[in-house]
Amino acid sequence: MRVVIINDDGSENVYESSKLVDRALKNHVILVPSKTKEENAIEILRAYLSGAKPILYDQENLSLKEKIESLGVETFKDIDFAAMFFTSGSTGFPTGAFKSKENIETDMEALLLEFGNFHIKKVVATVPFIHIYGFLAALLLPLKLDVDLLFKEHFLPHDLLEHAKPHHLVVTTPLYIKSLLRLDEAKDLSQTIFISSTGPLSAEIAKEFTDTFNTTLIQLFGSTECGSIAFKKQDDTFWSPFQGVEATLNAEGLLHVKSPFISKTLWQEGLVQTNGEIQSFDYAIIEKGKFQLIGRSSNIVKIAGKRYSTTQIEEILEAMEGISKALVHVKHNNAELKDEVLQIFLEAMRPITVKEIKSAIKHTLGKINLPIELKVVDKISTTLMGKKCMPL
């Protein structure tokens, strides 16, 4: 495998994966903060191929950066893991997931079952490598397929379209899928495959994309703790679990996942054991072994008798004068009579009242009867993957 980085001037930096092995790193815990994509790709590959134990984290999340660096590598030296990843922190302080060699290798075997039959000659990646999606699909998949990995530090949509060639697998996100559609450029990508993950992509946009470019689109559903969970193709609405994944529903209709890819140990201000099972907060419907996602319990709110996603409320609020960014979260408190509270964080350029917010929501969705906790903050930060983080 070669790692090929295209510079803005058209020159290339090329690395051979076989030359990255450093046996002196075996079993050493290494902190790998977010840097340039080139630095991260080489550092992570070197660590994984050398048997080191890299801890990957987004140093733009300052609270996480301070916590990890204050703990130091000695805290984790006695734990058996091949790589450690952190959740985005979109619903609180990030959770750390220790991935064993078995977690990673069995996950890769499942991915290869789905992608190994495509005639892939090169992988093109737009995603960072310090998160589980970029690590598995953009770094390890080309390694396992023994094909080149190609990327730029900053891929513009027209750059990506130029490098989407026959027998190329493009590992990207919904943001790029939507951006390619906005280019209004025609190109036959019938021999190109796109993988999209990290966020929802509506069936309408998926169909428009595959029809416009005559291409194959495969969406991946997973999480830091679970690894890969399921996939769907083109504009399908139901997800097919990867081989080895058991997807069921609990009594509340929330998705429960059991698989060999799940981290057996998590770090949440202490170590937590999962037994290879994770209870998600995703409402789902299961039919004939496949499932359809309805929404997350922390991102679904009932208004005027109907369920809406918090993303819809965020869009309403961000359309209001004086609000630049909004983050909405449903907090559950079973001890209270009304067990749901709508937490709203705003970046605002003027004073905002709860009355104004309720009025705006009522105008579009209907009357909201939930208590609202409103907090105006200096900044709602986003991760490298574009997810909004809960202010602490």
* CATH of residue 315: 3.30.300.30
Return d(Cα 371, Cα 324) in angstroms, integer: 23
221, 82 Cβ separation under 8 angstroms = no
Q: Which two tokens stand for residue 340?
A: 């749901």
User: What's the burial of 146, exposed, middle or buried (CB within 10 Å: 0-12/13-18/19+)?
Assistant: exposed
Over residues 187-214, the mean pLDDT reads: 92
Question: What local confidence, expressed as pLDDT, does residue 259 receive?
Answer: 96
Whether 382 is in a domain gets the answer no
Of the segments 236-245, 248-257, 363-372, which one has the largest average pLDDT value?
A: 236-245
- 254-258 and 246-249 beta bridge pairing: antiparallel
The last residue of one of the domains, among 295, 327, 361, is 295
User: Residue 96 belongs to a domain with what CATH number?
Assistant: 3.40.50.12780
Q: Which two tokens stand for residue 70?
A: 């204050």
Whether 384 is in a domain gets the answer no
Top-confidence residue, 280 or 167: 167
Sign of the Cα torsion 356, 357, 358, 359 reads positive
Are residues 169 and 309 both part of a single domain?
A: no
Whether 194 is in a domain gets the answer yes
Are residues 117 and 168 both part of a single domain?
A: yes
Are residues 126 and 10 both part of a single domain?
A: yes
Question: What local confidence, expressed as pLDDT, does residue 39 receive?
Answer: 97
Question: What local confidence, expressed as pLDDT, does residue 385 receive?
Answer: 57
Whether 20 is in a domain gets the answer yes
Are residues 314 and 247 both part of a single domain?
A: no
**Complete edge-to-edge strand list for the sheet that includes strand 323-332:** 323-332, 340-348, 372-376
User: What's the burial of 285, exposed, middle or buried (CB within 10 Å: 0-12/13-18/19+)?
Assistant: middle
- Tens of pLDDT, residues 103-114: 999 999 999 998
Are residues 322 and 225 both part of a single domain?
A: no
pLDDT band at 63; cut points 50, 70, 90? confident
pLDDT exceeds 70 at position 60: yes
Return d(Cα 151, Cα 37) in angstroms, integer: 8
Are residues 197 and 267 both part of a single domain?
A: yes
Question: What local confidence, expressed as pLDDT, does residue 110 receive?
Answer: 96
The last residue of one of the domains, among 261, 278, 295, is 295
Question: What local confidence, expressed as pLDDT, does residue 81 receive?
Answer: 96
Q: Which residues contact 320 (CB under 8 A, 6 or more apart)?
A: 352, 356, 360
Question: What local confidence, expressed as pLDDT, does residue 383 receive?
Answer: 67
Return d(Cα 340, Cα 299) in angstroms, integer: 11
The number of folded domains in the chain is 2
- Tens of pLDDT, residues 330-381: 876 544 444 578 889 999 999 999 999 999 988 888 888 778 999 999 988 8
Are residues 253 and 322 both part of a single domain?
A: no
- Residue-averaged pLDDT of the chain: 89
Are residues 261 and 135 both part of a single domain?
A: yes
Over residues 266-274, the mean pLDDT reads: 88
Are residues 199 and 327 both part of a single domain?
A: no
Map tokens 């051979």 to a residue: 16
Are residues 122 and 269 both part of a single domain?
A: yes
pLDDT exceeds 50 at position 22: yes
Over residues 254-271, the mean pLDDT reads: 92
% the chain with pLDDT above 70: 93
pLDDT band at 24; cut points 50, 70, 90? very high
Could you count the other beta carbons within 10 Å of the beta carbon of residue 121? 14
CA separation (Å) from 267 to 67, 99, 189, 264? 12, 11, 42, 10
Are residues 246 and 364 both part of a single domain?
A: no
Whether 95 is in a domain gets the answer yes
- Tens of pLDDT, residues 71-94: 888 888 889 999 999 987 655 578
Question: What local confidence, expressed as pLDDT, does residue 338 receive?
Answer: 46
Are residues 131 and 263 both part of a single domain?
A: yes
Domain of 183 in residue numbering reads as 2-295
Return d(Cα 373, Cα 358) in angstroms, integer: 12
- Tens of pLDDT, residues 299-330: 667 666 566 778 888 989 999 999 999 998 88
- 168-172 and 290-296 beta bridge pairing: unpaired
Whether 390 is in a domain gets the answer no
The last residue of one of the domains, among 272, 295, 318, is 295
Whether 340 is in a domain gets the answer yes
Whether 191 is in a domain gets the answer yes
